[in-house]
Amino acid sequence: MKQTLQMKTPHLFAIKVLDKLPGLFKPRRYLYHCVRCKWSFVVNDGRRGALRPIPENGTPLTRDEVVARGATFAAGPCPAMRRVMEAHLPRNGSNGHVPANAEGSNLVLGSHRQTH
């Protein structure tokens, strides 16, 4: 299921061209901003192919957060869409709830015998 979520929920990026770093063969930098989850990434920052996640509130990201966000860049899952997809996952009951007697009940369906 996790793989299905990742394939169906990529980021939706708005891309802005940034200034070029000084140097003869330096690549052009781009700012990728996901309009769904509000995460931002700078691509080609310092060298070609480099990816740097940008914190949305100005506080530095931890190493684990940088790695986790970087892993979602190309194919997702976008955190905003993950919440939406999880909200729409099928549930056990017809109305979305698990019946109270579904777990641990000894009820035998189709049995009409009564014990006195």
pLDDT of residue 21: 84
pLDDT of residue 28: 92
**pTM passes above 0.95:** no
How would residue 96 be classed by pLDDT, with cut points 50, 70 and 90?
low
- Tokens standing for residue 31: 């700012």
pLDDT of residue 22: 86
What residues pair up with 116 in beta bridges, in sequence order?
none
Per-residue pLDDT tens digits for 50-69? 999 999 888 899 999 999 99
Mean pLDDT, rounded, of the chain: 77
How would residue 95 be classed by pLDDT, with cut points 50, 70 and 90?
low
